[in-house]
Amino acid sequence: MRPIRLPEPPTQTMGVPEIFAAGAYSVIRRAVVIGNGYPGSENQCVGLVRALGLSDKHVLYRVTRPRGGINEWLHWLPVSVHKKLEYVIRQICGYSRLLSAARGEKPVCHPLENGGNVGLSSVLEADVRQIVTMARETYEKDGPLLVVASGRDTISIASSIKRLASDNVFVVQIQHPRVHLNRFDLVITPRHDYYPLTPEGQEKIPQFLRRWITPCEPPDGHVVLTTGALHQIDSAALRSAASAWHEEFAPLPKPLVVVNVGGPTGCCRYGSDLAKQLTAHLLNVLVSCGSIRISFSMRTPEKVLQQLLICH
């Protein structure tokens, strides 16, 4: 079995980029990542921090909103409003339970859960004042604090940190925040976020809707456009994965086709019809390739997963 060989990573990408290493008071030596509990958003933040050479010098905070039960219908609210409303609902439910118990009735209330993903209790809750205080008090010793945030629920937190400690932090918002961009030092977003401003996009969007679709202006100087989402895959990660999976992949008939199956979105619902369609495509491909391996997302529906496993 021949070992899988990957090219050596370019030497200029190792360590901290030059833009973060100029002057005693402009060196970025630590970072704060503000996530929303979803791997897709947080992996982008960690990927950027890792690329800057700060993989072991960052702290993860999370903006958490109540989840479960009726809370699933309230995600359109700002996090702060959602938490206050959830508190009121809990108080009402508690009071209704007391009344029901006094009357000898069985209490009925919408279920409410908080916490969400496993491990949230071990991650610090994003607190604006705490992060601002830390940035100010440690500035003389450690220099400016890099703040990297991603996800709708993190926008208000990141912009507030920028407003209160603009001289002590450098705030990067990943994904277009759909608000004034001057609230951040840098915005990193995929090119497709600006599709409505392209000639093709303008043709497809009715005139009366254009003013309501953001962004309304082309990217300015502190917007970085990417082809896709940021991630944690670099040369080191590829070499490590190649070594770990060599024994598994090397003996397989070639060519090897790897299929990554994600999860549903607002525009693409994963149902039985899609599962059957994917199965048919895979069976057609299987004739002309040596092997197929399928990778599933945490969000892949069970019925789609089972259908593809039967095919596989």
Task: Using pLDDT thresholds of 50, 70 and 90, give the confidence band for residue 112.
Answer: very low
Contact residues for 220 (Cβ-Cβ < 8 A; gap 6+): 181
- Mean pLDDT for the chain? 81
Indicate yes or no: pTM above 0.85: no
53 and 87 part of one domain: no
Q: What's the number of domains the chain is made of? A: 3
Domain check: are 124 and 273 in the same one? no
In a domain, residue 172? The reply is yes
Predicted confidence (pLDDT) at residue 12 exceeds the cutoff of 70: no
Provide the pLDDT for residue 103.
55
Question: Minimum mean pLDDT among 5-14, 54-63, 234-243: which range?
Answer: 5-14
Supply the pLDDT for residue 97.
Answer: 61
64 has a pLDDT exceeding 90: no
Residue 172 sits in the same domain as residue 52: yes
Residue range 172-188, pLDDT digits in tens: 999 999 888 999 999 99
HEC letters along 245-300: HHHHHCCCCCCEEEEEECCCCCCCCCCHHHHHHHHHHHHHHHCCCCEEEEEECCCC
Q: How many residues appear in the chain? A: 312
b/e 72-89 (16+ beta carbons within 10 angstroms → b): eebeeeebeebbeebeeb
Cβ(176)–Cβ(213) under 8 Å? no
What would the pLDDT profile of 230-265 be if each residue is shown by its tens digit? 988 888 888 999 999 999 989 999 888 888 888 887
Separation CA 217–CA 34 (nearest Å): 26
Q: What is the pLDDT, as a whole number, of residue 65? A: 84
Q: What percent of the chain has pLDDT over 70?
A: 81
Indicate if 142 and 207 belong to the same structural domain.
Answer: yes
Residue 248: half-sphere exposure toward Cβ, Cα within 13 Å: 7
Q: How many Å apart are CA 9 and CA 137, to the nearest integer?
A: 37
> Percent of the chain at pLDDT above 90?
32
- Binned at pLDDT 50, 70 and 90, residue 216 comes out as confident
Same domain, 161 and 195: yes
Could you tell me if 176 and 306 lie in one domain?
no
Domain boundaries, position 130: 13-64+118-226
The predicted structure's pLDDT at residue 102: 53
How crowded is residue 219: how many other Cβ atoms within 10 Å of its Cβ? 17
Question: Given this model, what pLDDT does residue 16 score?
Answer: 44
- CB 145 within 8 Å of CB 30: yes
Provide the pLDDT for residue 9: 54
Contacts of 89 (CB under 8 A, 6+ apart): 70, 110, 112
pLDDT number for residue 162:
96
Residue 11 confidence (pLDDT) above 60? no
The predicted-structure confidence for 71-84, as pLDDT tens digits, reads as follows: 888 887 888 888 88
Residues 84 and 160 in one domain: no
The answer to whether 172 and 146 are in contact (CB under 8 A) is yes
The verdict on residue 233 lying in a domain is no
Shared domain for 256 and 199, answered yes or no, is no
Write the pLDDT tens digit of every residue in 125-174: 999 999 999 999 999 999 999 999 999 999 999 999 999 999 999 999 99
Least confident of 6-20, 92-106, 209-223: 6-20
Domain at 180, CATH number: 3.40.50
Q: What are phi and psi of 182, to 5 degrees?
A: -70, 0
Q: pLDDT per residue over 274-288, tens digit each?
A: 888 888 888 888 888
Identify whether 110 is part of a domain. Answer: no
Question: How confident is residue 115, by pLDDT bands cut at 50, 70 and 90?
Answer: very low
Mean pLDDT of 32-37: 94
SS3 202: helix
Question: From residue 162, how far is each of 16, 144, 166, 171, 184 by CA, in Å?
Answer: 23, 12, 5, 6, 7
Residue 24 is predicted with a pLDDT of: 37
